Amino acid sequence: RLLTSKRAPREEPAVPILYYFPCQRWLAVEEDDGQVARELVPVDEAFVKKDSENDGQSPATLGLEQKAKSTTYTVKVKTGDKKNAGTDANVFIILYGSKDDTGIVSLKASKINKNKFERGKVDEFTVESVDIGDLKKIKIGHDNKGNSTGWFLEWVEIDAPSLGQCLKFPCGRWLDKSEDDGATERIIFPAELQTVEYIPFVPYEITVYTSDIFGAGTDADVFIVLYGSDGICTQQKSLCLNKREQRMYFERNSVNQFIVELEDVGDIIEKIRIGHKGGGLNSGWHLDRVTIRRLLPNGK
């Protein structure tokens, strides 16, 4: 008797999916927002190819595409005013939201103090992440490394412009192996009565064109204010994060693009105010034009 077997038809191999995760930003304590790790989200392949064809866009455009899909948090940390309250250890934080969490973020570059986490001081950091939803809790701690590791944490304050919320996370405890319960990290929940609500910010894509004439560029701190209808306006916002960026951008005949979270002035921008704060050797600036695009939540 002849036995035959039925073989399943061969499946064609699936076409591999290629994901593009551009960065084009610094991972350095002294650069950009001071973060040494970033969350990257995929962008459309056509966008990558368009940029690679050198069609006049800045190489940093890909990084801006990432930034448009992210949200920025301002994190303030208060070290208690007690003896030996400060720490030399490496401090980290994790923000937990209703959708996701940020993962471990190292708090390395304080915007206020060169020596961070000193007794009685407030330090400020920028944390950038994809949308994690409403903030529910945080975990903060340190790696217990260094000469003076014990830390008394008074509180953490997180300003989330995209949510229109500023939340306070009270602690008032030691993060120290030889103090309190010996824990070097803590999970903290926001104090609801101390939460400040305001109108959520939205991201704007701001493109600045510096003129092509002698001496047109500037190293000054450039700022912008947007005005909508009914007298609504944004706060005055610097376009550069630090002095290094001020030296890099706004050169003669240059095009610089920024993603900035600002108060929502509505669908119509009636006027803008743009200028600089002077100072330095080359502060004078010849501005050609500015274009502004209000981005939707999905970065379009």
Alpha-carbon distance 201 to 284, whole Å? 31
Q: Which of 197, 214, 236 is the last residue of a domain?
A: 197
Question: Do both 178 and 280 map to the same domain?
Answer: no
Question: Do both 97 and 188 map to the same domain?
Answer: yes
Q: Which of 151, 179, 197 is the last residue of a domain?
A: 197
Question: Do both 209 and 222 map to the same domain?
Answer: yes
Q: What is the DSSP letter of 290?
A: E
The two tokens of residue 205 are: 């894509």
Average pLDDT over residues 281-294: 88
Question: Do both 92 and 185 map to the same domain?
Answer: yes
Average pLDDT over residues 111-125: 93
Alpha-carbon distance 140 to 225, whole Å? 35
The continuous run of DSSP H or E covering 245 comes out as helix 243-248
pLDDT value at residue 78: 97
Task: Please tell me which residue, 262 or 57, carries the higher pLDDT value.
Answer: 262
Q: Considering all CA atoms of the chain, what is the largest pairwise distance in Å, rounded to the nearest integer?
A: 98
Residue type, 8: A
> Taken in order 287, 289, 291, 292, is the CA torsion positive or negative?
positive
Q: Which of 197, 232, 249 is the last residue of a domain?
A: 197
Question: Do both 22 and 107 map to the same domain?
Answer: no
Q: pTM for this structure?
A: 0.72
Alpha-carbon distance 19 to 35, whole Å? 23
Question: Do both 173 and 208 map to the same domain?
Answer: no
Identify whether 102 is part of a domain: yes
Average pLDDT over residues 231-252: 89
Question: Tokens 């900035």 belong to which residue?
Answer: 260
What CATH number is given to the structural domain containing 100? Answer: 2.60.60.20
Identify whether 65 is part of a domain: no
At 52-111, the pLDDT tens digits run 444 444 445 555 655 666 788 999 999 999 999 999 999 999 999 999 899 899 998 888
Identify whether 11 is part of a domain: no
Identify whether 2 is part of a domain: no
Identify whether 79 is part of a domain: yes
Share of the chain above pLDDT 90, in %: 47
Domain boundaries, position 205:
18-56+201-294
Identify whether 209 is part of a domain: yes
Which of 199, 244, 249, 196 minimizes the C-alpha distance to 224?
249
Identify whether 215 is part of a domain: yes
CB atoms within 10 A of CB 246: 22
Helical H segments across 146-240, by residue range? none
Q: CB neighbours of 263 closer than 8 A, spacing ≥ 6?
A: 199, 201, 202, 232, 233, 234, 235
Question: Tokens 């092509």 belong to which residue?
Answer: 212
Residue type, 67: K
Angle between helix 45-52 and 61-68 (nearest 10): 150
